């Protein structure tokens, strides 16, 4: 049987850990007890990241940039938590996050046979979608009705397998500690996706149940010892998406259509927010979170685009597909079953390319317009049987949707205006006045005055107003004279047409043909493959390892010495600025303490906040980024220069000490004097 997996490669589902491969490479056997701890001590945050329990009392460690949205929502003009940082000196001072939800994976059930059996005799893709939606919604709803747990049927291997993931859901999450932004994002955009790094990108939250700290039986014990170079460790997290099982035609679409469109629009938004932030210090503070998010998106997608444009990378991906095609060609049985699958996928991709404007230009910007769209969808979808609703409005998902929709967090109308104005200007330029969508969205009105009118007159920023509309049902929403609701009534059919087109004519056939390629790979390679990332819990294994650039060896860890040097050599200018008070605190610390370190772990977006675990099940680091060479990891694994970057627990401990977070230090069971001797 052929094995295509290289050393330290893979974002492995917990049902298929390559234990033999890990043992052969590192001489370590993962015990069932350790695997269970990894599963139940790791959490998924619905803001798009990962985290883990680090105490028996529900204390959660994640990245500052994962928690930044909640921190900003908790800030106001008098209390700038993002800029100044936060520490709850007493447990009663821990602040409830407005709309954060965490999920703990309780159980995984393989339901592939049940799903595939239900659709095996169906002829049309529309019939397949209807039947698949029905059986999936029934399975998810059964779990929800009997246990109130959150259930989700996850598509793996492009449709080759289906698994029912069952989660415990917790929505009472409170902020405990966050360092100031200048420390959590030191180096800003210039250092982003680079290494060496000197960032304390961490935040501490706490889960509550029945208004008491959640009793977390499974958690990671804190350890300040830096991993030795070459030492085995594990990362448990929820990588968002990868494209390693996609075909060449699908990747060419990303390179030539999706990425250029995304970058053009995102850069336009970024420029608008830059201009706004430059007008005053207050504007800069208000726009900071948006700018950081947009800068990160641009740099990430540009890296992926360049990765696909690199001819050496493309030839490697091309060879991977050609080799598989050759195996099929040489085997009559395989050729009869799978020979046409790549051509069929290419036909669907061409269909997407022809409908590119329909797919990507029917869009909006801002939170308030999306509130309006979701209200109209909600009252429409709830009239349907559960299995025929959009996924987010099915009974098993409705509580999570409402938790987010009815967030008490304030909405900044000025920032919403900026984003909506940018998107409408972009659509007006790209689609033209003759576009039916542009005619309905803008008409003959001047965009600035239209946006001003829509956002200033709406009441959707008011949580109580949204709640009242939600409870008023279809009649109340459809008769509402709110400015955005009225405007969105004309636009909602365009969004519905787009979504129905994607789900019925694109996603379903792609999934069915993707499943065929997966079955082919199972026949050829066996189950020693891992699926593409799907924001579900995965284990990756690896080790700290330095690398070379043009003969210059990059060290595998950095220290507070380096942090102060970078601040000093850039003359304390943004984005390398540190306050005098913070510089004093750092100088009083143990300067040889590790701040960041790099490893060979296979990660991608969504892994942010993932714990780095040693072989004893102790947490030693916190994933927060990858270096610039890791951009290609969306398409294939490379250990030459690509590295995952983590915050060292030793560095976090030192920060907790100089911020005098004694309560947290005690809860983590830290003896800093003893730990310092080990550094």
User: What integer pLDDT is reported at residue 123 of this predicted model?
Assistant: 87
Read off the pLDDT of residues 536-575 as tens digits, 9 standing for 90 and up. 999 999 999 999 999 999 999 999 999 999 999 999 999 9
Overall average pLDDT of the 262-285 stretch: 96
Mean pLDDT of the chain: 95
Report the topology of domain 19-101+172-244+531-677. Thrombin, subunit H (2.40.10)
Q: What is the DSSP secondary structure assignment for residue 539, as one 8-state letter? A: E
User: Within the chain, which residue ranges are assigned CATH 2.40.10.120?
Assistant: 19-101+172-244+531-677
Read off the pLDDT of residues 590-632 as tens digits, 9 standing for 90 and up. 999 999 999 999 999 999 999 999 999 999 999 999 999 999 9
111 pLDDT more than 60: yes
Overall average pLDDT of the 300-315 stretch: 96
- Residue partners of 576: CB distance under 8 A and separation at least 6: 186, 187, 188, 566, 567, 570
Q: Which conformational region is residue 556 in: left (phi greater than 0), alpha (psi within -120 to 50 degrees), or beta?
A: alpha
Read off the pLDDT of residues 178-217 as tens digits, 9 standing for 90 and up. 999 999 999 999 999 999 999 999 999 999 999 999 999 9
674 pLDDT more than 60: no
pLDDT tier at 358, thresholds 50, 70, 90: confident
CA-CA distance, 351 to 348, in Å (whole number)?
A: 5
CA-CA distance, 157 to 532, in Å (whole number)?
A: 7
676 pLDDT more than 80: no
In angstroms, the Cα distances linking 635 to 61, 306, 514 are 29, 12, 16
CA-CA distance, 502 to 509, in Å (whole number)?
A: 10
User: What integer pLDDT is reported at residue 1 of this predicted model?
Assistant: 40
Packing angle between helix 463-478 and helix 367-381, nearest 10 degrees?
50
677 pLDDT more than 70: no
pLDDT tier at 470, thresholds 50, 70, 90: very high
Structure tokens at 241: 């998406």
DSSP 54-106: -STT-EEEE-HHHHHHHHHHT--SS--HHHH-EE-SSGGGPEEPSS--EEEEE
User: What integer pLDDT is reported at residue 360 of this predicted model?
Assistant: 86
76 pLDDT more than 90: no
Sole residue written with tokens 């210059």: 552
Which of 119-128, 317-326, 497-506, 669-678 comes out lowest in average pLDDT? Answer: 669-678
502 pLDDT more than 60: yes
Overall average pLDDT of the 123-148 stretch: 96
Contact 235, 540 (CB under 8 A): yes
Read off the pLDDT of residues 510-537 as tens digits, 9 standing for 90 and up. 999 999 999 999 999 988 899 999 999 9
Q: What is the DSSP secondary structure assignment for residue 540, as one 8-state letter? A: E
Overall average pLDDT of the 653-665 stretch: 97
User: What integer pLDDT is reported at residue 672 of this predicted model?
Assistant: 54
Contact 199, 652 (CB under 8 A): no
User: What integer pLDDT is reported at residue 359 of this predicted model?
Assistant: 86
Overall average pLDDT of the 378-401 stretch: 96
User: What integer pLDDT is reported at residue 527 of this predicted model?
Assistant: 84
pLDDT tier at 70, thresholds 50, 70, 90: very high
Strands 221-222 and 618-626: parallel
Q: Is-cis flag, bond preceding 575, omega within 30? A: yes
Query: To the nearest whole percent, how much of the chain has pLDDT over 90?
Result: 95
Read off the pLDDT of residues 448-458 as tens digits, 9 standing for 90 and up. 999 999 999 99
Overall average pLDDT of the 499-505 stretch: 95
Contact 415, 286 (CB under 8 A): yes
User: What integer pLDDT is reported at residue 357 of this predicted model?
Assistant: 86
């Amino acid at each position: 049987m052929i094995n295509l997996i290289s050393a330290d490669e893979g974002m492995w589902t917990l049902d298929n850990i390559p234990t033999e491969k890990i043992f052969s490479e590192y001489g370590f056997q993962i015990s069932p007890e350790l695997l269970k701890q990894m599963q139940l001590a790791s959490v998924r945050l619905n803001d798009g990241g990962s985290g883990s329990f680090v105490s028996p009392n529900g204390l959660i460690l994640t990245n500052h940039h994962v928690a930044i949205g909640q921190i900003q929502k908790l800030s106001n003009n008098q209390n700038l938590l993002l800029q100044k940082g936060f520490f709850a000196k007493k447990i009663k001072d821990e602040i409830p996050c407005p709309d954060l939800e965490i999920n703990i994976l309780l159980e995984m059930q393989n339901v592939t046979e049940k799903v595939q059996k239900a659709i095996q005799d169906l002829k049309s893709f529309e019939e397949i979608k209807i039947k698949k939606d029905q059986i999936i919604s029934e399975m998810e709803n059964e779990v929800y009705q009997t246990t109130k747990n959150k259930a989700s049927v996850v598509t793996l291997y492009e449709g080759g397998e289906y698994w029912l993931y069952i989660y415990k859901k917790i929505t009472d999450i409170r902020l405990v500690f966050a360092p100031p932004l200048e420390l959590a994002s030191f180096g800003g955009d210039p250092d982003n996706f680079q290494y060496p790094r000197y960032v304390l990108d961490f935040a501490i939250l706490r889960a509550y149940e029945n208004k008491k700290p959640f009793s977390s039986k499974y958690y990671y014990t804190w350890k300040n010892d830096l991993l030795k170079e070459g030492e085995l460790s594990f990362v448990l997290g929820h990588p968002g998406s990868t494209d390693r099982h996609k075909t060449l035609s699908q990747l060419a679409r990303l390179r030539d259509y999706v990425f250029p469109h995304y970058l053009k629009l995102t850069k336009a938004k970024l420029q608008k927010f830059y201009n706004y932030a430059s007008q005053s210090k207050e504007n800069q503070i208000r726009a900071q979170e948006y700018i950081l998010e947009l800068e990160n998106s641009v740099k990430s997608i540009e890296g992926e685009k360049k990765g696909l444009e690199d001819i050496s990378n493309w030839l490697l991906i091309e060879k991977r597909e050609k080799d598989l095609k050759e195996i099929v060609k040489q085997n009559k049985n395989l050729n009869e079953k799978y020979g046409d699958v790549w051509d069929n996928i290419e036909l669907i991709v061409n269909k997407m390319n022809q409908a590119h404007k329909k797919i990507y230009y029917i869009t909006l910007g801002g939170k308030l317009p999306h509130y309006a769209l979701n209200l109209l969808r909600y009252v429409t979808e709830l009239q349907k049987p559960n299995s025929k609703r959009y996924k987010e409005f099915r009974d098993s998902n409705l509580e999570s949707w409402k938790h987010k929709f009815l967030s008490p967090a304030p909405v900044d109308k000025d920032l919403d205006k900026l984003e909506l104005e940018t998107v409408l200007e972009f659509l007006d330029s790209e689609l033209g006045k003759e576009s039916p969508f542009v005619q309905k969205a803008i008409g003959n009105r001047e965009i600035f005055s239209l946006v001003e009118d829509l956002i200033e007159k709406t009441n959707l920023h008011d949580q109580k107003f949204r709640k009242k509309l939600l409870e008023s049902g279809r009649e109340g929403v459809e008769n509402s004279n709110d400015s955005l609701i009225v405007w969105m009534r004309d636009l909602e059919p365009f969004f519905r047409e787009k979504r129905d087109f994607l789900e019925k004519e694109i996603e379903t056939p792609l999934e069915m043909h993707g499943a065929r390629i997966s079955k082919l790979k199972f026949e050829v390679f066996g189950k020693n493959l891992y699926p593409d990332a799907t924001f579900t819990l995965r284990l990756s294994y690896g080790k700290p390892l330095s690398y070379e650039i043009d003969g210059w060896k990059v060290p595998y860890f950095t220290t507070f010495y380096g942090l102060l040097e970078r601040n000093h050599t850039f003359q304390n200018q943004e984005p390398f600025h540190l306050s005098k008070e913070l510089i004093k605190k750092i100088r009083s610390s143990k300067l040889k303490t590790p701040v960041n370190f790099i490893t060979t772990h296979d990660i991608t977006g969504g892994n942010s906040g993932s714990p780095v675990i040693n072989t004893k099940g102790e947490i030693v680091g916190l994933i927060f980024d990858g270096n610039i060479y890791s951009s290609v990891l969306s398409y294939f694994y490379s250990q030459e220069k690509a590295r995952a970057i983590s915050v060292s627990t030793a560095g976090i401990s030192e920060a907790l000490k100089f911020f005098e977070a004694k309560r947290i230090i005690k809860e983590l069971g830290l003896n800093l004097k003893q730990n310092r001797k080990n550094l």
